[in-house]
Amino acid sequence: MPDILSTDRKETVYEQICHLGYKFFGSIAKEPKNPEIREAIEFTGLKVTPRETEAGAIFASILAGFLLFLLTLLSFLGFLPVPWYLMGLLSLGLAMGVYAYMGEYPKLYANLYRIQAIGSMPELINNLVISLKLVPNLENAVSFASKTTRGHMGLVLKRLAWETLARSYNSAEQALTQLAERWKRWNDDFARALYLIRTSLEEKTEKRRIEVLDKAVDTILRGTSEKMDQFASSLYMPTMALYFIGVIIPLIMVVLLPVLAFTGTNVGAKHMFIIYDVVLPVAMFAGTSWVLNHRPVTLPPPDIGEHPELPPEGKLRINLGKPLTISGKLLGMVVATPLIFFGLIRLKNLLGEEASKALETQTLSAETTGLSTQQAEPLFQSLDLTILILVGLALGLFIYMFTTNWGRFKVREKIIETEREFIDSLTQLGNRLSDGKPIEDAITHVSRVMGGSGVSKIFSDAARLITVGRMSIRQAFFDEKEGALRYVYSDTIRNVLHKIVEGVEKGSETASITVFRTIDQLRRVQTIEREMRKRLDEVVTPMRVIIIFVGPLIAGVVVVLQRVINSYTSKFGFTPGAELPTTTPGMPINIQELGKLQAEFAAKTIEPGVLIIIVGIYLLLMVLILSRYMAGITHGDDKVAMRVEMGKNAVISITIFILAMVGLDMFF
């Protein structure tokens, strides 16, 4: 997402399409009647006019329709396996969808930007209050918060701080008031918190000033918590609808394939592939993305950047005598390619056998048909090579998504745990400072009491640098080369220690007051975060069990059941040219008619090997999409958490799917 506050940014793809479309269709494009389009353009800073958005929508829809028209023509001429009329309907639907999306894009873009900005508002309020509790100066607080707040609101504060210095605003109070008015429509809690911060400076007593600042933090946190509760409460119905429509019902339909064959409906592998492996995944991805786009954004995860204990992003570090760094994507492809290759060879043979069924059916139904007692080949014997396609895909995704991100995920979880321990260490530090102890003794005491925890190393390193390295308290923590915080990637710890150091430089009493005020504030923040995480976990945990275990198990049962139905309905095989009477005593139907019926049924069923791959790929796609959905609900727009969840669940689900088929096949 581009920085809307930057005046020298490059044009986005959307802006380029709109400008190009205006050159061709500007004369027929009309101004959109919806005033929300203009409002969204002004809010986001998109470099387009409302009329250009209409021209861009026309241009994009014509381009998409023309490309699919070419595919329709190729299908009509027989170069593509998809029916031409189906491709034509897709062309028309896509053109209409592209037109609607391009026309409404400014509103969608503005809504997404607001959601992202709202996520960094609690951090902004928190940083303003931390600074104001130490020094009741709003200009200083805005400057501090602009440097320590991440995301869009950090950029907004930087702009406000610069405009205040440039005298675009008379004071920081006026700048914050304008900010509150701008966002009041979208987040009333944020506006009220800003008003409370501004009015805290008018309080006559220190105690009352601190109470108002605490109320500002509680207001934004409780508002965020309430929005998350509303989101969690609204998740149940769409989540269950997505699961039943996207997983349960399609799997049940697989069981009905033999019944459809008996009714004369020919559901071939091509049709199943298009429905199960293209249409359903696209629809599920769109549905889950829509739900996630309405999720209130919480505080972003720690940004660990280039951590010394981790390889570069997307890489793996392997110890083969000496550390070796390789690309996770490359390793995944190396592992997956041979497995997929051998599986595709087997699949090609199965597709060839299926393609020859129509010819065999015509021959069998034209000749005298007899009966034999051949049984269908066991499922796991006929699929020993085709199953390698699923194994290769799952292992490749596991290596690329899980192994390259697991280390980063664990480091971030360790940082979050260190932030929890940090509050206890601040309690020890504040007690020592309130007793009048020097900061060096207080830091040494904390490192000894918190021994064994992640936060103890921070204070032990700082104490060593102060006593042995003869550094100042600020250098001991913040020196870029040797400081105790050089490898600490927690903005919370860095920001709090920054203010504590400022307090220490003003005296031990000021520092102890700063510490105790900060402790109460951090406890409230962490309490709200735990409540929100617990509320979301209540929604996600049952779904995780269903997706990882129940879904693959059902898929395995469905595939085996479909094979069993095929086996029992076709257990009387066909022996062309057999000398049998046209009727058999005790049988109410003619043998010739029975043979024809069985031959037609055999032609309209899908080879078990082909079916297993279609259902397996469908299952894998559903697991990836719904794993992204679950991680997005719990962690927000966190790519690392999403990839870890997707890679892990891909291997687990495919393993259960295979074991379910092999195990059940032994009993049938």
Read off the pLDDT of residues 203-225 as tens digits, 9 standing for 90 and up: 888 888 888 988 998 888 888 77
**Which SS3 state, helix, strand or coil, does residue 338 take?**
helix
Alpha helices in 77-171 (DSSP H): 84-119, 121-134, 138-148, 151-165
Task: Decide if 337 contacts 327 (C-beta within 8 A).
Answer: no
Q: Which helix (H) or strand (E) holds 372?
A: strand 369-372
Structure-model confidence comparison of residues 515 and 380, the more confident one: 515
Position with higher pLDDT, 127 vs 85: 127
Examine the pLDDT at 131 and tell me if it is beyond 50: yes
170 pLDDT higher than 50:
yes
Give residue 352's pLDDT band: very low, low, confident or very high (50, 70, 90): low
By C-alpha distance, which of 312, 309, 320, 315 is closest to 331?
315
400-417: burial string, b at 16+ Cβ within 10 Å, e else: bbbebbebbbebbeebee
Q: Is residue 189's pLDDT more than 80?
A: yes
Question: Taking Cα atoms as reference points, which of 112, 155, 163, 105 lies closest to residue 139?
Answer: 163
Return all residues near 16 (Cβ < 8 A) that are at least 6 apart.
Answer: none
Q: In this structure, are residues 646 and 624 in contact, taking their beta carbons and an 8 Å threshold?
A: yes
Is residue 373 scored above 50 in pLDDT?
Answer: no
- For residue 78, which phi and psi values (nearest 5 degrees)? 95, 10
- Average pLDDT over the chain, rounded to an integer: 77
d(CA 96, CA 396): 37
How are beta strands 369-372 and 573-576 bridged, if at all? antiparallel
Instruction: Please tell me the chain's helix, strand, coil percentages from 3-state DSSP, rounded to the nearest 5.
Output: 75, 5, 20
pLDDT on residue 134: 78
The β-bridge partners of 319 are: 323
The structure's pTM equals 0.74
Query: Which of 276, 351, 335, 341 shows the shortest CA–CA distance to 620?
Result: 276
HSE toward the beta carbon, residue 257, CA cutoff 13 A = 27
More confident residue, 488 or 18: 18
How far is it, in rounded angstroms, from Cα 524 to Cα 535? 17
Residue 591 scores a pLDDT above 50: no
Could you read off the pLDDT of 259-317 as tens digits, one per residue? Answer: 665 565 666 777 788 888 888 898 899 888 888 877 766 666 677 766 777 777 778 77
Contacts of 8-11 spanning 24+ positions with Cβ under 8 A: 11/47
Residue 67 is encoded by which pair of tokens? 């490309």
Q: Are 546 and 653 in contact, with CB atoms under 8 Å apart? A: no
Q: 6 has which bridge partners?
A: none
Longest dimension (CA), the chain: 111
Averaged over 339-357, what is the pLDDT?
Answer: 73
Q: Is 494 exposed, middle or buried (0-12, 13-18, 19+ CB in 10 A)?
A: middle
The predicted structure's pLDDT at residue 234? 78
**Please, which pLDDT band fits residue 392 given cuts at 50, 70 and 90?**
very high
Quick count: other Cβ atoms within 10 Å of Cβ 582? 9
C-alpha torsion angle, residues 280, 281, 282, 285 (rounded to 10): 120
Q: Tell me the sheet residues that pair with 665.
A: none
Condensed to tens digits (0 to 9), the pLDDT of residues 598-656 reads 444 444 567 777 788 888 899 999 999 999 988 888 877 778 888 899 999 999 999 99
How distant, in Å, are the alpha carbons of 157, 234, 612 from that of 559?
Answer: 58, 34, 7
What amino acid occupies position 154? G
Question: Residue 651's pLDDT is what?
Answer: 93
* Residues in CB range of 543: below 8 A, 6 or more apart: 239, 243, 626, 630
Please provide residue 373's backbone torsions phi and psi, each rounded to the nearest 5 degrees. Answer: -125, 40
Q: In b/e form, how buried is each residue of 473-488, taking b as 16+ CB within 10 angstroms?
A: bebbbbbeeebbbeeb
- DSSP per-residue codes, 563-620: HHHHHHHT-SEEEET----S--TT-SS-HHHHHHHHHHHHHHSPPHHHHHHHHHHHHH
Of 79, 570, 564, 559, residue with least CA distance to 361: 570
CA angle 565, 570, 573 (to 5 degrees): 160
The reported pLDDT for the residue numbered 395 is 92
Reported for 349-353, long-range contacts at CB under 8 A and 24+ positions apart, including other chains, are 350/386, 350/607, 350/609, 350/610, 351/269, 351/607, 351/610, 353/607
DSSP 269-334: HHHHHHIIIIIHHHHHHHHHHHHHHTSPP-PPPP---S-TTSPSTTEEEEEESEEEEEEHHHHHHH
Instruction: Say if CB 622 and CB 246 are below 8 A apart.
Output: yes
pLDDT band at 573 (very low <50, low <70, confident <90, very high): very low
- pLDDT at residue number 266: 62
Alpha carbon 273 to its chain centroid, in Å, reads: 25
Q: Where are the alpha helices (DSSP H) in 166-307?
A: 172-183, 188-200, 206-233, 236-243, 249-255, 257-262, 269-274, 280-293
Tell the residue number behind the tokens 């040797």, with chain if given: 482
Enter the tokens of residue 491. 């903005």
CB 105 within 8 A of CB 489: no
Q: Among 601, 599, 607, which residue's Cα sits nearest to residue 575?
A: 599
Q: How far is CA 455 from CA 425, 433, 449, in A?
A: 8, 18, 11
| Tokens encoding 470 | 């003869």
pLDDT of residue 128 exceeding 60: yes
pLDDT tens across 467-526, in order? Answer: 887 888 888 888 888 888 888 888 778 888 887 887 777 776 677 777 777 777 677 777
**Chain position carrying tokens 């400014």:** 106
DSSP-derived secondary structure for 501-547 = HHHHHH-HHHHHHHHHHHHHHHHHHHHHHHHHHHHHHHHHHHHHHII
pLDDT of residue 81: 63
Tell me the domain boundaries of the chain: 13-118, 121-233, 236-296+331-410+530-667, 413-527
Q: By percentage, how much of the chain surpasses pLDDT 90? A: 5
Distance CA 477, CA 460 (A): 11
Determine the pLDDT at residue 201: 87
Q: Looking at residues 57-81, what average pLDDT do you find? A: 80
- Give the chain's length: 668
Q: For residue 475, give every residue at least 6 positions away whose Cβ sits within 8 Å of its Cβ, in sequence order, or none.
A: 465, 483
pLDDT top residue among 313 and 369:
313
